[in-house]
């Protein structure tokens, strides 16, 4: 069975086959239709999947499996530790230069906001973060490097945003900050920046293992109208492009990031929700346990890599 | 709340050409985007940026919607004397922000 | 590469591209009126009058292929002695295909020391950018650069 439309897009890489011309014409009239794949004789007609480059004519089965849904067993294996690369290495030098310079990195605007918020008194208890945590450059060192972490009271992992809000509720008697609000992004950026350069060291308590496993399952399973699992792109095709964008390895070591596409700062959950929308799968609310478990798994994937917050990404 | 990030050398020798980097927090809404309902989101940009060195204007810029969000502007000036740089951003909807930085020139 | 498939694919990419662009901002119902090479020329006339513009002396540093059209780093450098007698008065930057032809006007002067400015700009599409410098003797010099802009792969829901 010939591999399908993905090849036609990568015509520069592969010699065109005699099936090619018919196929391209068909695609251009049906690009808006999404068809669920039922078996090996049909193909998915979808704009996002269509834009994949093909691994090579010597691996048609991988392409088939990618598009068709295979037999349900993900052929993917996680990226070997010594092949892991930060998203930074996929960017052009001009974009890297924006991240490198603290005086030019727009993410620093949020970090500096966070620095003042750290000292603001809040809530019925009229306390600031500094009142308990003193100088963040000492006390917050290493914190972001081990988050998401287990919250003993809740008995489940929480991410940095949730930790800030738990602190607000429990110690400041203040209302939670909304997800993706400027204040919450500023505080998490400020806290995470204190770990910049430090190796990610996930919490290895036994209680977290089942949550990491759930996160891994989410990463591996195919879902949505495009029937894609995170692993299909980020483990199998990270060295390729989706349209004009590099795919990268899904190693979230610089969050919250200043994303050029957003022209603003944003959290890892915002990015995850974008991706989930991108594969046309059912999305989750901010703070949903599924998203926190996925964050937890992703950080364990990045174990040992240095924190880059505030990172800049396209 | 921090709105601006300024980078000016703290010290310089008289006659040195120094680089000044400025980063201002602003959405720079272009006025060409629409809401889901089809209404235009009104323009909201910084229109003008000025830098004064001990009161005398040394640099000015007119900004248009094509300037990216959180405008980053760098320029140069000759360090002539110790003193103060005053920066001013003016924009739509009465936007007005200032910042300053000092320099010691020997 | 076969040209017929190429143009079909290009059409498809054009449609998919605008579909992607539509998704990345809070849903666009119409494409905004875009500038054209003619409006850029008119905008240039507006700023510099009908004086003669020569090419040279100005360098425009912009990535030939941008990572993201929302934030494109740009540096304009004018070669000049930068003395009170011979310096750069102003730099004006224009584009062809954004909804508006102007990007920015930068006023330097005798105290600048170096005729160079940097900023980050937005480019809606692959297009030409033109930078024009006015020197202290009111002579005008220009340079044009071609920039390729790709669109983001996946659309984003409004958060």
Q: What is the 3-state secondary structure (H, E, C) of chain C?
A: CCHHHHHHHHHHHHHHHHHHHHHHCCCCCCCCCCCCHHHHHHHHHHHHCCCCEEECCEEEECCCEECCCCCEEEEEEECCCCCCCCCEEEEEEEECCCCCCEEEEEECCCCCCCEEEEEEECCCCCEEEEEEEEECCCCEEEEEEEEEECCCCCCCCCC
What region does A54 belong to: left with phi over 0, alpha with psi -120 to 50, or beta?
beta
**pLDDT tens digits along C42-89:** 899 888 888 899 999 999 999 988 888 999 999 999 999 999 999 999
pLDDT grade, residue C9 (50/70/90)? low
Task: Assess C118–B contact: CB distance below 8 Å, yes or no.
Answer: yes
pLDDT grade, residue A27 (50/70/90)? very low
Task: Assess C14–B contact: CB distance below 8 Å, yes or no.
Answer: no
Pairing mode, strands B72-78 and C115-121: antiparallel
CA C58/CA C61 separation, integer angstroms: 10
Instruction: Tell me which H or E stretch contains A177.
Output: none
CA A68/CA B79 separation, integer angstroms: 66
**Residue C24 within any structural domain of the chain:** yes
Predicted confidence at residue A104, as pLDDT, reads 94
Residue A63 pLDDT > 60: no
Mean confidence (pLDDT) of chain C:
80
Candidates C99, C100, C105; nearest CB to B62: C105
Residue C34 pLDDT > 80: no
- The better pLDDT of the pair B55, C23 is held by B55
C11 and C85 together in one domain = no
Residues B37, B40, B45: CA angle, nearest 5 degrees: 140
Domains of chain B plus CATH, in order, are 4-105 (2.60.40.10)
**pLDDT tens digits along A172-205:** 999 999 999 999 999 999 999 999 999 999 988 8
Residues in chain C: 159
φ and ψ at A312, to 5 degrees?
-115, 135
Task: Please state at what angle helix A107-117 crosses helix A182-193, rounded to 10 degrees.
Answer: 90
**pLDDT tens digits along A109-152:** 999 999 999 999 999 999 999 999 999 999 999 999 999 999 99
Average pLDDT over residues A272-280: 91
* pLDDT above 90 as % of chain A: 69
φ and ψ at A99, to 5 degrees?
-70, -35
Task: Assess B14–C contact: CB distance below 8 Å, yes or no.
Answer: no
> In Å, what is the CA distance from B37 to each residue of C16, C25, C27, C28?
22, 13, 8, 9
| Tokens encoding C22 | 């539509």
Residue A65 pLDDT > 70: no
Q: How many domains does chain C have?
A: 2
**Residue C64 within any structural domain of the chain:** yes
CA A64/CA C41 separation, integer angstroms: 51
- The better pLDDT of the pair C72, C3 is held by C72
**pLDDT tens digits along A125-135:** 999 999 999 99
Domain-wise residue ranges, chain A:
1-73, 107-193
C21 and C88 together in one domain = no
Cβ-based interface (< 8 Å): residues of B facing A: 1-3, 5, 7, 21, 23, 25, 27-28, 68-70, 72, 74
CA A49/CA A190 separation, integer angstroms: 37
Candidates C29, C32, C113; nearest CB to B38: C29
- Burial state string for C128-142 with b = 16 or more CB within 10 A and e = fewer than 16: ebbbbbbbbeeebbb
B-chain residues near A115 (CB < 8 A): 2
**pLDDT tens digits along B63-91:** 999 999 999 999 999 999 999 999 999 99
* Residue at token pair 């005729």: C115
Q: What ipTM did this prediction achieve?
A: 0.94
Query: Judged by CB atoms within 8 Å, which residues 48-87 of B form the interface with C?
Result: 53, 56-69, 71-78, 80
| Tokens encoding A224 | 């949505």
* Residue at token pair 């220009």: C142
pLDDT grade, residue C33 (50/70/90)? low
Predicted confidence at residue C35, as pLDDT, reads 60
Average pLDDT over residues A43-62: 41
C66 and C54 together in one domain = yes
Detail the DSSP E strand segments found in A68-127: none
| pTM as predicted | 0.80
Mean confidence (pLDDT) of chain A:
81
**pLDDT tens digits along B92-105:** 999 999 999 999 99
Residues of A with a known catalytic role = 275
CATH class of the domain defined by A107-193: mainly alpha
Please, are residues A72 and A231 in contact by the beta-carbon 8 Å criterion?
no
Cross-chain residue pair A242–C153, CB shorter than 8 Å: yes
Cross-chain residue pair C153–A243, CB shorter than 8 Å: yes
- The better pLDDT of the pair A41, B100 is held by B100
**Residue C70 within any structural domain of the chain:** yes
C-chain residues near A275 (CB < 8 A): 154
Q: How many CB atoms lie within 10 A of CB C3?
A: 8
Average pLDDT over residues A207-214: 95
Cross-chain residue pair B5–A112, CB shorter than 8 Å: yes
C48 and C99 together in one domain = yes
Q: How many CB atoms lie within 10 A of CB A118?
A: 19
pLDDT grade, residue C151 (50/70/90)? confident
Order the strands of the C72-78 sheet from edge to edge.
B4-7, B17-24, B72-78, C115-121, C72-78, C58-61
Predicted confidence at residue B96, as pLDDT, reads 96
Candidates B41, B68, B75; nearest CB to C71: B68
Q: Which range of residues forms the domain containing residue C48?
A: 33-149
pLDDT grade, residue A304 (50/70/90)? very high
**Residue C158 within any structural domain of the chain:** no
C48 and C22 together in one domain = no
Cross-chain residue pair A109–B70, CB shorter than 8 Å: yes
Average pLDDT over residues B26-39: 90
Cross-chain residue pair C156–A242, CB shorter than 8 Å: no
**Residue C113 within any structural domain of the chain:** yes
| Closest residue of chain B to A263, computed from CA coordinates | B69
CA A226/CA A223 separation, integer angstroms: 7
**Residue C2 within any structural domain of the chain:** yes
Predicted confidence at residue A243, as pLDDT, reads 81
């Amino acid at each position: 069975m010939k591999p399908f439309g993905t090849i036609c897009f990568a015509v520069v890489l592969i010699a065109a086959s005699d099936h090619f011309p018919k196929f391209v014409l068909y695609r251009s009239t049906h690009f808006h239709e999404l068809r669920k794949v039922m078996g090996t004789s049909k193909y998915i007609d979808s704009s996002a999947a269509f834009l994949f480059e093909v691994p090579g004519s010597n691996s048609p089965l991988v392409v088939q499996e990618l598009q068709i849904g295979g037999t349900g067993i993900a052929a993917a294996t996680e990226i070997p530790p010594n092949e892991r690369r930060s998203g930074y290495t996929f960017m052009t030098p001009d974009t890297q230069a924006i991240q490198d310079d603290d005086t030019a990195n727009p993410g620093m605007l949020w970090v500096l906001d966070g620095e003042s918020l750290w000292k603001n008194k809040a809530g019925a208890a009229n306390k600031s973060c500094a009142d308990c945590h003193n100088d963040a450059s000492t006390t917050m060192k290493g914190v972001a490097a081990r988050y998401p972490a287990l919250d003993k009271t809740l008995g489940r992992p929480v991410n940095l945003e949730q930790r800030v809000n738990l602190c607000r509720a429990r110690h400041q008697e203040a209302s939670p900050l909304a997800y993706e609000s400027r204040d919450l992004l500023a505080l998490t950026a400020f806290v995470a920046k204190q770990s910049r350069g430090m190796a990610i060291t996930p919490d290895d308590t036994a209680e977290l293992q089942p949550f990491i496993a759930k996160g891994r399952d989410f990463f591996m399973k195919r879902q949505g109208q495009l029937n894609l699992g995170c692993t299909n792109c980020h483990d199998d095709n990270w060295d390729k492009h989706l349209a004009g964008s590099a795919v990268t390895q899904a190693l979230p070591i610089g969050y919250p990031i200043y994303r050029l596409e957003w022209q603003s700062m944003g959290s890892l959950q915002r990015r995850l929700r974008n991706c989930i929308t991108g594969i046309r799968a059912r999305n989750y609310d901010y703070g949903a346990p599924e998203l926190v478990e996925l964050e937890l798994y992703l950080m364990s994937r990045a174990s040992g890599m240095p924190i880059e917050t505030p990172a800049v990404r396209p | 709340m921090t709105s601006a990030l300024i980078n000016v050398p703290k010290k310089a020798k008289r006659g040195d050409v120094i680089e000044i980097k400025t980063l201002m927090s602003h959405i720079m809404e272009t006025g060409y985007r629409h809401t889901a309902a089809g209404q235009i989101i009104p323009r909201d940009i910084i229109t003008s940026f000025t830098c004064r060195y001990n009161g005398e204007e040394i640099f000015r810029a007119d900004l248009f919607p094509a300037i990216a969000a959180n405008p980053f502007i760098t320029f140069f000036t000759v360090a002539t004397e110790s003193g103060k740089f005053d920066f001013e951003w003016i924009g739509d909807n009465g936007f007005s922000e200032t910042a300053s930085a000092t320099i010691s020139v020997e | 590469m076969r040209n017929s498939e190429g143009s079909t694919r290009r059409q498809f990419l054009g449609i998919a591209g605008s579909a992607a662009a539509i998704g990345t901002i809070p849903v666009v119902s119409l494409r905004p009126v875009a500038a054209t090479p003619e409006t850029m020329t008119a905008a240039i006339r507006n700023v510099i009058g009908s004086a003669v513009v020569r090419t040279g002396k100005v360098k425009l540093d912009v990535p030939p292929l941008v990572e993201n059209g929302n934030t494109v780093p740009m540096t304009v450098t004018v070669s000049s002695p930068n003395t009170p007698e011979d310096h750069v008065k102003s730099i004006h930057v224009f584009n062809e295909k954004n909804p508006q032809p102007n990007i920015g006007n930068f006023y330097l002067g005798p105290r600048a020391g170096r005729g160079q400015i940097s900023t980050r700009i937005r480019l809606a599409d692959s297009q030409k950018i033109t930078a024009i410098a006015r020197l202290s003797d009111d002579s005008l010099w220009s340079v044009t650069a071609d920039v390729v802009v790709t669109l983001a792969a996946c659309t984003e829901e409004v958060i």
